[in-house]
Amino acid sequence: MSAMFDLAELQGNILRGYTKKPHVRYLILEVADRSAARRWLASSVSGRGDGVPQITTGDWGPNKPDTCFNIGLTYEGLRALGTPSASLEMFPNEFVEGMTARALKLGDVGPSAPENWPAPFNEPKRIHLIATIYAEKVEQLNEVQERALYDREALTLLGTREGYNFPGDFVHFGYRDNITQPRFEEIHDPDRYPDRQPRAPLGTVLLGHPTNLEGLTWRVPLPAELGHNGTFNAFRVLKQDVAGFEEYLDRAASDLLKHPQVDELLQPGDEEKIGKGLSRRAALREIVAANLCGRWRDGTPLALSADAPDPKADLTDFDYVGVGDSRCPHGAHIRRCNPRGGQIVQRIANNSRRLVRRGVPYGPPYDPAKRDRDEPEPERGLLGNFIGASLGAQFEAMSCDWLNLGLQDPRITGSNDPISGANDPVTSWFDLPLKSGGTIRLRGLPRFVLTRGGAYTFLPSLSAIRFLGSL
Amino acid sequence: MPIPSDEGWIDRFVDRLPETRLFKLVASWILVPLWARLTPVKPLPGGPHPSFQHGDNVQCMMNLIMPLKDKSPVGRALAALAIAQNKEAIFAGLNNVGTVHFARFVIVGDNICMFSVYDGDFTNYIRDFIATIGSVFNAVVELVEGGEEVIPCEDNVEAFIQWVHERDLYQVPDTATDFLRDQEALNGDRAVSPVNDDLTLLPRKLVLQLRANPNVSLGSGYRAYPGFSVAQVRKHLGVGW
């Protein structure tokens, strides 16, 4: 990173992934006493290391911290702290209303609806502050948590969520993770991070800076020390049905074996290219998995290598400009979330809905050999953070129009994202592209991801934390 | 030949009462204001009702009514001129937004109105509209009551979206129960659950709502090709999208 502005002003988790700290714990907190909570905030940026854990900033100096600690505040949290009403009124509607009020836009319907969320997310107005601890060992998480909750007058613990980054950088559906994030102007050196996407303006992730939509700026809550260099986070607890996903791949592969055009999808004899020792059925499973995601499970983008995984392919340096359906389906998960420079209906929206994503899996990895069909699978999923300067223009716009309506391309309009969308097996579909230009339509996709909680939070700058602490 | 009736004269009198001039006057000037005072009704927000169904999220209607500052023929002429001078830029911008089926400007009384049919989320539509032609549209907004508070709209994105939302007509649902649901939703945490669906109160509730929202759009409207986005239509017609 080569920042041209003060990284010590930012909370560290905005621009850093903390990838060397695999254990992550979220503390879901309620303000117990306004004055004590303000003192707690002031202590968290005081520079003293003996009491409340210190907020990790973007500037680590010469020594990497052993643990990292960051916070986000909900609108109710800002109110509970006594933030002046003139400042509160300047926060955007979606943040004020909160995640549960935006359920329809986010596809949180049916079993994902907020009324089905377990505690503490069943009482969204009580969630005031979400603190996140990142560490190498669980004992460190415990130690930081103890310090964070030492003053019981300040904050009440409503609940926790804990995740662990699996060795090898893969996530529950078996795909490679930690591949790419937006690179920012004024922060990242383009020579060091080759990416065919343009570097994102700082306003993509920080309030008070130019955005990707030319001439448009987002409202910065005043006073400036409160809003400037802050950002917003959509924290999501996303349960993943890995067994259901693998079963769907089985079913799709079996159906494809009987399909008259299957050889166009996989030439007989090409199974070895997909994976060593794979049967034809197993290779077809992997082809379906790759097309649903837009990447092979090893991370190879289909846009660069449509026929087989390629360990030499660059995982980030690609675009969809001129990439037809035959190389990467328009409905594939990563293409839906970020169409990069490819043609889309909303012509000015290319690259404007990008988000910083920080996720960590929770629950045990899925092992089909250990599966007991008579017992329910343990809950597993992703604790995800989707960070951007405008929840409405980025996270919600992506979720609503792109993931769950497919508005960006007429060939996918009326379908949901195949992996994370709110699919109904009765109506869902996904088109597998063929080299001839035709498609094989897969049907009956169930919902693989359920929302089990979440909250919209504001990630204040260090100045803002001092401001709130001094109210 | 009239069907024999066993109604007495009192029944006939009561049935005819709402058609009498005196009763209409009493209802309009005394009864409805009294109801409104006893049971205040908030204006319902504009735009289509949020829905997760794909078909409900394409061909959505916006009926934007903007009262002019200058309520005279000269004011109306200025509005007409502002549209005429910027029409090409506005239409080119709408084309670039990509999700707009139709849009037209109409002067009704002392209002400049923009009626359009669009796909997807309302806030995305208006945000993309600002990003594309906000600077041009400012010339229209400055002629409208309250417009000065939200221009230049490029610098007041959130406020402008809210401003448009507040001037977009409430769309009365196609079913009575959905109308009652909208009224309950306004009560937020104080909403009665399950929804208060006493249909015998509907006429009174509708009268009071139309007092709070004098201008409304009736029902979801007719669509010749429901469920298709503008890009799907254009692709099918081979005119590019």
Residues B151 and B72 in one domain: yes
pLDDT over 80 at A329, yes or no? yes
- Chain A residues within 8 A of B229 when measuring between CB atoms: 345, 407, 410, 413
Assess if residue B117 is contained within a domain. Answer: yes
- Chain A residues within 8 A of B128 when measuring between CB atoms: 346, 348-349
pLDDT over 90 at A374, yes or no? no
Kindly list the distances between the CA atom of residue B9 and the CA atoms of B12, B14, B17, B24, B124, in Å, as whole numbers in the listed order. Answer: 5, 9, 12, 21, 60
| Cβ proximity of A185 and A195 under 8 Å | no
**In the predicted model, what is the mean pLDDT of residues A410-417?**
97
- Chain B residues within 8 A of A404 when measuring between CB atoms: 52
Assess if residue B176 is contained within a domain. Answer: yes
Residues in contact with A107: Cβ distance below 8 Å, sequence separation at least 6, in sequence order: A399, A400, A403, A404, A416, A421, A422, A451, B52
B101/chain A closest Cα distance in angstroms: 12
- What does the CA dihedral B84, B89, B94, B95 come to, rounded to 10 degrees? 120
Residues B161 and B176 in one domain: no
- Chain A residues within 8 A of B118 when measuring between CB atoms: none
User: Which among A104, A219, A345 is the nearest to B50, CB-wise?
Assistant: A104
**In the predicted model, what is the mean pLDDT of residues A196-224?**
91
Of B108, B134, B168, the residue at which a domain comes to its end is B168
Residues B186 and B102 in one domain: no
- Partners of A301 in the beta sheet? A295
When pLDDT is cut at 50, 70 and 90, the band that residue A437 belongs to is confident
Residues B88 and B141 in one domain: yes
User: Tokens standing for B113?
Assistant: 């109105």
| Cβ proximity of A291 and A433 under 8 Å | yes
Which of A176-185, A325-334, A354-363, B44-53 is the most confident on average?
A354-363
Assess if residue B208 is contained within a domain. Answer: yes
Between A and B, how many CB-CB pairs are < 8 A?
A: 99
| Cβ proximity of A281 and A253 under 8 Å | yes
* Nearest chain B residue (CA) to A106: B52
Residues B28 and B121 in one domain: no
Determine the pLDDT at residue A211.
Answer: 92
Determine the pLDDT at residue A182.
Answer: 84
- Partners of A235 in the beta sheet? A385, A455
Residues B150 and B180 in one domain: no
Determine the pLDDT at residue B32.
Answer: 87
- Chain B residues within 8 A of A115 when measuring between CB atoms: none
pLDDT over 90 at A92, yes or no? yes
Assess if residue B196 is contained within a domain. Answer: yes
| Cβ proximity of A68 and A9 under 8 Å | no
Q: CA quadruple B158, B161, B164, B168: dihedral positive or negative? A: negative
- Chain B residues within 8 A of A414 when measuring between CB atoms: 54, 227
Residues B105 and B149 in one domain: yes
Region of residue A186 (left: phi > 0; alpha: psi -120 to 50; beta: else): left
When pLDDT is cut at 50, 70 and 90, the band that residue A4 belongs to is low
Q: Would you list the DSSP string of A259-297?
A: -TTHHHHS-TT-HHHHSTT--HHHHHHHHHHHHHHTB-T
What's the CA gap between A6 and A431, in Å, rounded? 47
What's the CA gap between A361 and A173, in Å, rounded? 10
Domain count along chain B: 2
Reported as a single tens digit per residue, the pLDDT across B148-164 is 999 999 999 999 999 99
Of B168, B199, B225, the residue at which a domain comes to its end is B168
A410 touches chain B (CB under 8 A): yes
For an interface test with B, which of A346, A415, A429 has the most B Cβ atoms less than 10 Å from its Cβ?
A: A346
Q: Per-residue pLDDT tens, chain B, 241 aa: give them.
A: 566 667 788 888 878 887 888 888 888 888 888 888 888 889 999 999 888 889 999 999 999 999 999 999 999 999 999 999 999 999 999 999 999 999 999 999 999 999 999 999 999 999 999 999 888 889 999 999 999 999 999 999 999 999 999 999 999 998 888 888 888 887 765 545 555 567 777 788 899 999 999 999 998 889 999 999 999 999 999 999 9
User: Which among B52, B119, B124 is the nearest to A107, CB-wise?
Assistant: B52
Taking an 8 Å cut-off on Cβ atoms, the answer to whether B96 and A347 are in contact is yes
B106/chain A closest Cα distance in angstroms: 26
What's the CA gap between A212 and A203, in Å, rounded? 7
Of B130, B150, B168, the residue at which a domain comes to its end is B168
- Chain A residues within 8 A of B98 when measuring between CB atoms: 344-347
Taking an 8 Å cut-off on Cβ atoms, the answer to whether B131 and A409 are in contact is no
Assess if residue B4 is contained within a domain. Answer: no
What's the CA gap between A348 and B132, in Å, rounded? 7
Domain layout of chain A by residue ranges: 7-97+117-239+454-469, 242-328+430-442
- Backbone phi, then psi, for A14, in 5-degree steps? -75, -45
Apex B217 CA angle, B32 and B179, nearest 5: 60
B86/chain A closest Cα distance in angstroms: 19
CB contact residues (below 8 A), chain A span 123-152, against chain B: none
B227 touches chain A (CB under 8 A): yes
Alpha carbon A223 to its chain's center: 29
Residues B83 and B111 in one domain: yes
Which residues span the domain enclosing B29?
A: 21-43+172-236
Taking an 8 Å cut-off on Cβ atoms, the answer to whether B99 and A346 are in contact is yes
| Cβ proximity of A232 and A102 under 8 Å | no
Taking an 8 Å cut-off on Cβ atoms, the answer to whether B121 and A219 are in contact is no
Alpha carbon A423 to its chain's center: 19
Assess if residue B3 is contained within a domain. Answer: no
- Chain A residues within 8 A of B232 when measuring between CB atoms: 410, 413
Buried b (16+ CB within 10 A) or exposed e, A311-340: eebeeeebbbeebebebbbbbbbbbbbbbb
Determine the pLDDT at residue B188.
Answer: 66
User: Which among A107, A213, A410 is the nearest to B232, CB-wise?
Assistant: A410
* Nearest chain B residue (CA) to A210: B155
- Backbone phi, then psi, for A359, in 5-degree steps? -130, 150
**In the predicted model, what is the mean pLDDT of residues A76-103?**
97
**For residue B116, what is the enclosing H or E element?**
strand B111-118
- Answer yes or no: is the ipTM higher than 0.90: yes
Closest CA to B160 of B149, B171, B144: B149
Assess if residue B152 is contained within a domain. Answer: yes
> Please, what is the average pLDDT of chain A?
93
Taking an 8 Å cut-off on Cβ atoms, the answer to whether A409 and B231 are in contact is yes
Residues B76 and B122 in one domain: yes
Residues B120 and B181 in one domain: no
B123/chain A closest Cα distance in angstroms: 8
Residues B75 and B103 in one domain: yes
A219 touches chain B (CB under 8 A): yes
How many helical (H) and strand (E) elements, i.e. helices and strands, does chain A have?
15, 10
B60 touches chain A (CB under 8 A): no
- CATH number where B108 lies: 3.30.70.100
Region of residue A312 (left: phi > 0; alpha: psi -120 to 50; beta: else): alpha
- Chain B residues within 8 A of A422 when measuring between CB atoms: 52
- Can you state the angle between helices A34-44 and A462-469, rounded to 10 degrees? 140
For an interface test with A, which of B96, B101, B128 has the most A Cβ atoms less than 10 Å from its Cβ?
A: B128
Taking an 8 Å cut-off on Cβ atoms, the answer to whether A105 and B50 are in contact is yes
Taking an 8 Å cut-off on Cβ atoms, the answer to whether B158 and A392 are in contact is yes
DSSP type of residue B68: B
Determine the pLDDT at residue A208.
Answer: 95
Residues B91 and B143 in one domain: yes
Share of chain A above pLDDT 70, in %: 97
User: Which among A93, A346, A396 is the nearest to B158, CB-wise?
Assistant: A93
User: Which among A109, A400, A422 is the nearest to B121, CB-wise?
Assistant: A400
Taking an 8 Å cut-off on Cβ atoms, the answer to whether A345 and B99 are in contact is yes
Determine the pLDDT at residue B3.
Answer: 65
* Nearest chain B residue (CA) to A349: B128
